[in-house]
Amino acid sequence: ATEANPGDKNAEFNPGRACRQRAMVEVAKKQCDLVIADANAALSRRPEDAALRRYRAFAYLTNQDWKKARADYSTILKEKNDDAEALSRRAYAEMQLKQFDQAAADYSSVLRNHPKDVGALLGRSYVYEMNGKVDQGLADVNQLLKIQPGNSEAANRKIRLEAQKKKSQSPAPLGQ
């Protein structure tokens, strides 16, 4: 199929390309329901279109439809299992679904190839915090702060994790 040229009335219309172009505009406007509807229609004709699936996955994520976002990112990862963006976004969906072990595994996969990925370090530190793995969370936050010393979210998480660590190390009061 040829790509559609708006000035060429004889050019073949490419619905996948048209949908991707509209999806970029609609995602930017946060009109995710339109993106999802368009992507569903186009994917029914072109299920192999990874760009459309990526737009739909992001729209699901934006709409907080965590299960569908995770499913689309999982499909994307079947084609390219080291896709850092898809891994990070699936991990975020998994966090929202309280699937902390899976989220940590995805963030770890990102960090194997991109050890300075601030988003993955921050995300995994949160997962560790939720799982009570304070030392591992602190290690990620400390690594992040070496990369981005002014990251206020990481600095606040470090304070919180250090307080949790201190609390867990203090002896229980007598008589309890």
pLDDT averaged over consecutive 10-residue blocks of the chain (176 residues)?
38 49 57 82 87 89 93 94 94 96 97 95 95 95 96 95 89 65
Tokens matching residue 72: 């689309």
Give the C-alpha distances (Å, rounded to integers) separating 102 from 29, 74, 90, 91, 128.
31, 12, 9, 7, 12
CA pair distance 49, 40, nearest whole angstrom: 11
CA pair distance 36, 8, nearest whole angstrom: 29
pLDDT of the residue at 176: 56
Q: How is residue 170 annotated by DSSP?
A: S
pTM (2 decimals)? 0.78
Q: How many CB atoms within 10 Å of residue 72?
A: 27
Tokens matching residue 103: 């989220």
Per-residue burial over 123-132, b if 16 or more Cβ lie within 10 Å, else e, is bbbbbbbeee
The single-letter code of the amino acid at 164 is Q
